[in-house]
Structure 1
Amino acid sequence: MRRTPARRPTIKDIARRAGVSESAVSFALNGRPGVSEATRARIRRVAEELGWQPSTAARALSGEGAATVGLVLARPARTLGVESFFLQLVSGVQEVLAGRGLGLLFQVVEDLDAECAVYRRWWAERRVDGLLVVDPRADDPRPALLDRLGLPAVVVGALDGRGAPHGAISTLWADDTGAMASIVGHLYGLGHRRITHIAGLPELAHTRRRMACLRAEAARRGLPDVRSVTTDYSDAQGAEATRRELAGDRPPTALVYDNDVMAVAGLAVAAGRGVPVPAALSIVAWDDSVLCRSTHPALTALVRDTAAFGRHAAEHLLALLDGGPPVSVQDAVPRLSPRASTGPACNGAPRPVV
C-alpha cells in the first residue's frame, strides 16, 4: 500500500491552532512588531510543537538570506570518486556549517565558464549567502565576478602568490612552495638527482607554484634531470605518465605525485614493470590518505589535517557573513612523513624496463 507523504506544517496550521490570524503568525515568527509578547510566545510555542521551519525560498524572497553556502567544483567528475582530499575538506566544512544550521549546496561542472555561470544563477535566485571557492587559477576571473555580485566568499588556496584580500573575499592558503621544497630536500638527501613531478591540472595556481618551486630547487642544487609533467589528477593519467617516464633513456630515480590516487597508480605500474620500490625508484604522494598507508610499501606523503583545513575555511566564511573584514590566512604547512616508499637513490645505469 502506497503511503501518503507527510505534509509539512504551514503558517495557516499555526494560525488555526494558536487562534490568531496568519498575519499575526508572520509578524511573530519574523520578529516584527504588531503582536503582543504573550501572543508572540504562544505562536512560537505552537510552531515548535508542529515542527515548523521557515522555507528557504521564502527567506530568500524576503531578503533574510538562504541559510546556505555554495561550493562549485570545476574538475573532471571521474577524478572525484576516489580522491579523498575533497571528501575530507567537505566533511570539515559541513561540521562548522551544521553548528549554525546552514546547508551546503554542492555542484560539479565541466569548466570555469560553467562555474561562473552557476555563481550568477545562484546570485540571481538568492540560493546562497556565501561561497567557498577552490582551485585558484592564474588570472582567475572569479574574485572580480564575486566582488561585482557582492557575494562573500573564501578562496581555499592562494591568489596572486599569497592571497591578498579582494573585496569581500578572504583567502585561506597553505605554503605549496615550502611543501615542495621539503620533498626535494628529502629526496636530495637520499641521493636522488633525477626527479619527475607528476603534476595535476596545469591551469591551477597551486600546480604552477609547485612546478616553479621544483625548478628553483633543481637550479639551486644543480640538478639538470628534474622536470614536471601535467595530468588531470586521475589514476589513468597518473599511470600513463609513469609508464612514459620509466620507459625513457634516463628514467627518474624518484617520482613525486600531486595526489594519493596517482601515487598508488604509479606504484602499481612500477610493480608491473619489475621496478622495485624503493630499491630502484622512490615515490612520494602530495596528499596523505588511507591509500598511502595501506600500500606495500607504504607511501611517503605530505600529511595535513584536511578536515581542519575545511573547518577553518568555513569559519572564515561565517566571519564574513557576520560582517567581519576579509582576511588572508596561511594555514599549517603540510609535513612530510617519510615511509618505506623512499630510500637511497640508484643513480647507476638505466634500469631495464620490461
Structure 2
Amino acid sequence: MSVSQYDIAKAAGVSQRAVSFALNGKPNVSKEKREKIIRVAQKMGYRPSASARAMQRRSTGAIGVLVQHYTSEEAMLEGINRVLQQAGYHTIIEQYGGVLKLDANKSRLLLERVVDGLIIINADESVTDLVHTQFENLASQMVWLECAHFGTSGCVRRDETGVAKHAVEQLSEKGYDRILYIERHAGLESGRKQFPYSGGIHYSCLDRHIAAQQMAEKLGIEFNCIDSMLRLEPLTSEQLAEHLDLNRGDRVAILAYDFWVAEWANRRLLRLGLDCPRDYGLLCLDEHRQFKTANIWPELSRYTFDRLAAGQQAAQMLLSMVNEKSQIASHCVGPDLILGQTF
C-alpha cells in the first residue's frame, strides 16, 4: 500500500504543508521538524510518485525503450544502456503490447510522466501510428531505431539500399552472370500490418530486394528472386537446386537476405553434394542477430551491422534531445563487408 504525505503528517504530528516543505527541501520548516518528518517518511517507506519527482526535478532520470519482445535486439539494448548509465539515466524497457493500449485504458507510462524520452526499436507502421498518437508529449524527445519510420531527424537505421547495391557490385566484380536472391517474404509490401504491434514485415525486406534488383539491371546481371518459405513450408533441396539451375553452365551466386536464409540454402544444397564457392557463390546481407557469426560460420561472406554501436548512437541522439533540446539529423549506417570464403 502506498504511503501519502497525509499519512506522514498524521504519524509525525505535523501539518501536511510542513511535510510537503520538508520532503521538497523548502526552507519553510525548522531543521528539527524537517529531520523528524524525513525519519518518519523513511520508516514508513514513503516514495514520491513519478509525476511528483518530475515536478520537483523537472526530470524523471529515466528513458523509456519500446520493444516487440524483451529478448529481441539484445546488442542494441546493451548499447543503449551503456550510454544512458554513463549519463546517469536508468532504462525502462516495455513491450509494445504492454504500453500501446488499443482500448481506453492507458498505461502508467502514458498517465504519468515516467520517462524523459523514448527509444522505439524495430517498429512497423502499425506501431508507428500508435506511438505518434499516444506519445504526443514526447514527440521532440523520441528516437526511432531500426524502424519503418525514418524522418529527417531522430532516426537511426541501417542503409539497406546501400548494402544491397554494394553486394551486387561485389558479385559483378567477381564475374558472376546471375544472381538468385533468396528472401523470407517475397511479394509482400514493407510495413504490412498483420495486426497491431506484431512486428509486421520488416522494412528491410522490400528495401534489399528492390535495391539489389535495380543494381543488377544497371550492371546487366540476370536477377531472379525466390522466397525461402522458411516460416511456412521451406523449399526442398531439389526445388532450390532447380531455381539455381547449374546446368546452364554460367556463374551463379546466391544473395541471401540474412544469416538464416544463407545457412538454410547452404544446408539444402550440401545434401545434393553442391558446395560454395565451388559450384555457386554465396553472399549474405545480414549476420546473426544474437550470436557472432564469426564464431558460428567464419567462412561466410557477409555484411555486418554493429547493433551495439547503433544502440549507442540512438541513446546519444536522445540525450541531446533531452538535455540540449536539439533535434539531431537522422543517420543511416553504411555497408560493412567481411569477404569470407563463400564467393
User: TM-score, length-normalised on structure 1?
Assistant: 0.68
Counterpart of 1:224 in structure 2 is: 222
- Matching of residue 96 in structure 1 with residue 94 in structure 2: no
Asked whether the equivalents of residues 94 and 104 of structure 1 are also in contact (C-alpha less than 8 Å), the reply is no
In the alignment, which of 104, 107, 115 is matched to residue 95 of structure 2? Answer: 107
Asked whether the equivalents of residues 181 and 217 of structure 1 are also in contact (C-alpha less than 8 Å), the reply is yes
TM-superposed deviation, 1:334: 3.3
TM-superposed deviation, 1:154: 0.5
Asked whether the equivalents of residues 259 and 287 of structure 2 are also in contact (C-alpha less than 8 Å), the reply is yes
Equivalence map 1:258-337=2 (5 Å): 258-289=257-288, 290-296=291-297, 298-322=299-323, 324-337=325-338
Distance 1:238 1:275, change over 3 A: farther
TM-superposed deviation, 1:42: 5.9
User: What are the superposed Cα offsets for residues 164-194 of structure 1, whole Å, 9 maximum, x if unpaired?
Assistant: 13xxxx2123322111112111222222322
Counterpart of 1:171 in structure 2 is: 155
Name the aligned partner's letter for residue 80 of structure 2. Answer: V
- Matching of residue 191 in structure 1 with residue 189 in structure 2: no
SS at 2:93's partner residue?
A: strand
TM-superposed deviation, 1:295: 3.6
Asked whether the equivalents of residues 25 and 43 of structure 1 are also in contact (C-alpha less than 8 Å), the reply is no
Asked whether the equivalents of residues 264 and 292 of structure 1 are also in contact (C-alpha less than 8 Å), the reply is no
Distance 1:104 1:178, change over 3 A: same
TM-superposed deviation, 1:25: 5.4
Counterpart of 2:196 in structure 1 is: none
TM-superposed deviation, 1:196: 0.8
Unaligned residue ranges in structure 2 (runs of 5+): 192-201
Q: Distance in 2 between matches of 1:187 and 1:53?
A: 65
Distance 1:249 1:314, change over 3 A: closer
Length, aligned pairs only = 316
User: TM-score, length-normalised on structure 2?
Assistant: 0.70
Asked whether the equivalents of residues 208 and 257 of structure 2 are also in contact (C-alpha less than 8 Å), the reply is no
Counterpart of 2:208 in structure 1 is: 210
Distance 1:138 1:19, change over 3 A: closer
Asked whether the equivalents of residues 157 and 206 of structure 1 are also in contact (C-alpha less than 8 Å), the reply is no
SS at 2:28's partner residue?
A: coil
Asked whether the equivalents of residues 163 and 173 of structure 1 are also in contact (C-alpha less than 8 Å), the reply is no
SS at 1:240's partner residue?
A: coil
In the alignment, which of 156, 167, 177 is matched to residue 145 of structure 2? Answer: 156
TM-superposed deviation, 1:325: 2.8
Asked whether the equivalents of residues 14 and 25 of structure 1 are also in contact (C-alpha less than 8 Å), the reply is yes
Name the aligned partner's letter for residue 301 of structure 1. Answer: R
Q: Distance in 2 between matches of 1:44 and 1:222?
A: 80
Name the aligned partner's letter for residue 253 of structure 2. Answer: A
Q: Distance in 2 between matches of 1:39 and 1:253?
A: 84
Distance 1:187 1:271, change over 3 A: same
Counterpart of 2:254 in structure 1 is: 255
**Identity of matched residues, %:** 19
Equivalence map 1:80-159=2 (5 Å): 86-99=73-86, 100-107=88-95, 109=97, 115=100, 117=102, 121=107, 122-135=109-122, 137=124, 140-142=128-130, 144-145=132-133, 148-151=136-139, 152-157=141-146
